[in-house]
Amino acid sequence: MSDMAWIDAALTSARPQAVGALLRYFRDLDTAEEAYQDACLRALKSWPRNGPPRDPAAWLIMVGRNAGIDGVRRRGRQEALPPEEAISNLDDAEGAAVERVDAADYRDDVLRLLFICCHPELPATQQIALALRIVSGLSVRQIARAFLVSEAAMEQRITRAKARIARAEVPFETPGAVERSERLGAVAAMVYLLFNEGYSASFDVAQAKAPLCEEAIRLSRLLLRLFKTEPEIMGLTALMLLQHSRAAARFDTEGQVVLLGNQDRRLWNRKLISEGLALIDKAMRHRRPGPYQIQAAIAALHARAERPEDTDWTEIDALYAALERVQPSPVVTLNRAVAVAKVRGPEAALAMVEPLESQLSGYFHFHGLRGGLLMQLGRAAEAREAFNRAIALANTAAEAAHIRMHLDRLAGAR
Amino acid sequence: MLYAILCYDSEDVVGAWTKEEDEAAIKRLEVVEEKLARQGRLGPVARLMPTTAATTVRKGREAMIIDGPFAETKEQLLGFFIVDCASLDEAIETAKELGRASSSAGAYEVRPLMVFKPNDVTRTDEVRA
């Protein structure tokens, strides 16, 4: 690995901690980001000459803090001085103060930085875009490419979102235990949204969106290093690792989506699977199940099955029943019906699916599954009608093509 | 004399390698491994999972189980075991058993392996248990 590549990787990895700490000092996102940029420029000059510092994040915080103070002083000549409390802790900026920044500070800094991106008034996609810009440090161009919009449009979106959170009250006090766990919950949800933004892609955009999945996993691992004893963060990381392990098997050579049961399991990434399994194993010891752990446990059962017919559907049915209890939603019930069809047959599954009609009538997968169950029961005309509704609601060409294959099979059976 | 060569690096940096970068790094190492193996000098090679997968068992009358890697700096790495376990529970039980048998304080970090190549040293220099 070349010097520059190493420095680039170290800067990326130190960024959330460094920007988070600088935000705590300067209490202003733009000042914190500028100070961090200054520190990065100095790192690019100093690190190749002097070798990498022992703790890159601490180095960036110290240098960024000094640069930020300089900037505030420079501006101070032209503008009125900012109120004292706006630049907290400046006194201890001298010397090796950062040596004493302890792990608890870092932890709350990173959490705060992620948490301000989860502002409830921001739509989910803006929360994600903002987190990618501020926390992950992706360029506007990279983010725009992943969201399939123009750079100018993304620039505008991020600027608006930033203005929105600048007006909001940023919580600078050290959070209490309850607050911390609420923040962690909001941040975990945002990280999973980020993952899904990259995951639910069709083949032609999968390439562009893959970095979103990887970034979500990276942020989740960071959270797990900071909150070592949180079983739901273990569960979230495991869930994403297990889902991402199937990335190479999700599309065929023509770009058609390949359903789980038909995937070539040799293409699954065994390293990601074994790490996911190790994490879910670790989480289960806490006996505090939550939605991420349960979903990860379901993904783990798929990952453990060498062939589709080895899948433990009875256990999957039980896990979905548990998920229905902690996070009731018609989509969860719909997923459970897939397991029920395997365990108790299509009739029982259909009975579970039918009552969801009013809530899921606009949902592609509802009609797709219902059509499949009707087809298994030999009710061809109704199946055809359900499949036609599914096609009308397909989100991607691959989804539509998959349903068309069923329709062709129905036509062939006539 | 048998030597253990322990690998230290930033897991954030290594963990962020693309599949291609990772494979390229492994390939370069394997060239060296193969040479050592031909000379009969290579013993077990292992790659550990990230520290996020680690659990620490603090020895004592009542062993304490702590999520996360071993983080103290006043104790040093003195040795390791590689044990096949069906689950983390079994691994922790095994660590506890070893803890009861050992006379010292300290801790065991239980970390799953990502890659394990058993290899066998055939060129024997002096030290063998």
pLDDT level of residue B96 (50, 70, 90 thresholds): very high
Co-location of A155 and A119 in the same domain: yes
Cβ-defined contact of B53 to A218 (cutoff 8 Å): no
Q: What is the pLDDT of residue A146?
A: 84
Nearest to A13 among B12, B52, B65 (CB): B12
Within-domain flag for B124: no
Co-location of A120 and A80 in the same domain: no
Average pLDDT of span B45-69: 93
Task: Look at the block and give the residue holding tokens 């990895």.
Answer: A13
Residue A184 belongs to domain spanning: 102-168+178-226
Please calculate the CA angle A6-A276-B79 and round it to the nearest 5 degrees.
70
Cβ-defined contact of B52 to A12 (cutoff 8 Å): no
Question: How many Cα atoms occupy the beta-carbon half-sphere of A208 within 13 Å?
Answer: 14
| Span between the terminal Cα atoms of chain B, in Å | 11
Measure the CA dihedral B119/B120/B126/B129, to 10°: 100
pLDDT digits (tens, 9 = 90+) for A307-333: 999 999 999 999 999 999 999 999 999
Mutate to test the interface with B, among A3, A11, A13 (most CBs of B within 10 A): A13
Give the residue on B whose Cα is nearest the Cα of A269: B19
Within-domain flag for A395: no
pLDDT level of residue A90 (50, 70, 90 thresholds): very low
A42 Cβ under 8 Å from any chain B Cβ: no
Is the pLDDT assigned to residue A83 strictly greater than 60?
Answer: no
Question: What are the helix (H) ranges across A93-245?
Answer: 103-117, 124-134, 140-147, 151-167, 177-199, 203-226, 231-244
Q: What is the pLDDT of residue A167?
A: 82
Residue A284 corresponds to which tokens in the numbers above? 């289960």
Within-domain flag for B126: no
Co-location of A204 and A94 in the same domain: no
Please calculate the CA angle A335-A339-A342 and round it to the nearest 5 degrees.
145
Please calculate the CA angle A361-A367-A369 and round it to the nearest 5 degrees.
135
Nearest to B52 among A13, A225, A285 (CB): A225
Residue B82 belongs to domain spanning: 11-117
Cβ-defined contact of B52 to A10 (cutoff 8 Å): no
Give the rounded percent of residues in chain B with a pLDDT score beyond 70.
95
Within-domain flag for A321: no
- Count Cβ neighbours within 10 Å for each residue of A179-207 and write b for 16 or more, e otherwise: ebeebbebbbbbbbbbbbbbbebbbeebe
Cβ-defined contact of B15 to A224 (cutoff 8 Å): no
Strand partners, B58: B64, B107
Show the beta-strand stretches assigned E in chain B: 45-48, 55-58, 64-67, 107-110, 113-117
Cβ-defined contact of B10 to A10 (cutoff 8 Å): yes
Chain B residues inside the 8 Å CB shell of A9: 10, 12-13, 16
Cβ partners under 8 Å of residue B47, min gap 6: B113, B114, B115, B116
Mutate to test the interface with B, among A274, A287, A304 (most CBs of B within 10 A): A274
Distance CA A227, CA A221 (A): 10
Co-location of A21 and A43 in the same domain: yes
CA distance B67 to chain A (A): 6
Q: What is the pLDDT of residue A200?
A: 63
Cβ-defined contact of B88 to A13 (cutoff 8 Å): no
Chain B residues inside the 8 Å CB shell of A234: 52
CA distance A27 to chain B (A): 27
State which of A226, A242, A258 marks the end of a domain: A226
Within-domain flag for B34: yes
Nearest to A229 among B10, B50, B67 (CB): B67
Residue B77 corresponds to which tokens in the numbers above? 């790495």
CA distance A214 to chain B (A): 9
Is the pLDDT assigned to residue A203 strictly greater than 80?
Answer: no
Within-domain flag for B3: no
Mean pLDDT across chain B: 90
B70 CB neighbour count, 10 Å cutoff: 20
Co-location of A81 and A126 in the same domain: no
Predicted model pTM: 0.87
Rg (CA), chain B: 17
Q: How many domains does chain B have?
A: 1
Please calculate the CA angle A165-A170-A173 and round it to the nearest 5 degrees.
170
Co-location of A147 and A51 in the same domain: no
Chain B residues inside the 8 Å CB shell of A1: 21
Within-domain flag for B6: no
User: What CATH number is given to the structural domain containing B100?
Assistant: 3.30.70
Question: How many Cα atoms occupy the beta-carbon half-sphere of A80 within 13 Å?
Answer: 4
Co-location of A108 and A96 in the same domain: no
Nearest to B13 among A13, A229, A281 (CB): A13
pLDDT digits (tens, 9 = 90+) for A238-297: 999 999 999 999 988 877 778 898 999 999 999 999 999 999 999 999 999 999 999 999
Within-domain flag for B60: yes
Q: How many domains does chain A have?
A: 2
Cβ partners under 8 Å of residue A189, min gap 6: A118
pLDDT level of residue B11 (50, 70, 90 thresholds): confident
Co-location of A92 and A10 in the same domain: yes
Within-domain flag for B15: yes
- ipTM for the predicted complex: 0.87
Nearest to A282 among B21, B53, B114 (CB): B53
Within-domain flag for A150: yes
Distance of CA A218 to the CA centre of its chain: 9
A228 Cβ under 8 Å from any chain B Cβ: yes
**DSSP string for residues in A81-135:** PPPGGGSTT-GGGSTTGGGG--HHHHHHHHHHHHHHHT-TTS-HHHHHHHHHHHT
Q: What is the pLDDT of residue A354?
A: 96
Average pLDDT of span B101-110: 90
Cβ-defined contact of A275 to B67 (cutoff 8 Å): no
